[in-house]
Structure 1
């Protein structure tokens, strides 16, 4: 079985180009949120902070 590649540890900078989720936030809420976290970052935050708090 092949090893899973490591995820990048850096998070997007607020001054970088808008995250792909920024368009989704705008579509659903009508609000501009250019620093919206991408899916990988959201899942990493859930894994690192929410799951340990629930166990």
Structure 2
């Protein structure tokens, strides 16, 4: 989080990234193709993938 927002990560809850990803998924689902662009990857956490 420090790399993305350039702020101390201690200010955010542990779920901050999950909440942001959830919001992004909701917004991306309204695309006409309805594909899943954000994938969960073990040991990486999230990955943006364009088919």
For normalisation by structure 1, the TM-score amounts to: 0.29
* Higher-strand-fraction structure: 2
* Higher-helix-fraction structure: 1
For normalisation by structure 2, the TM-score amounts to: 0.30
Work out which of the two has the higher radius of gyration on C-alpha atoms and give 1 or 2. Answer: 1
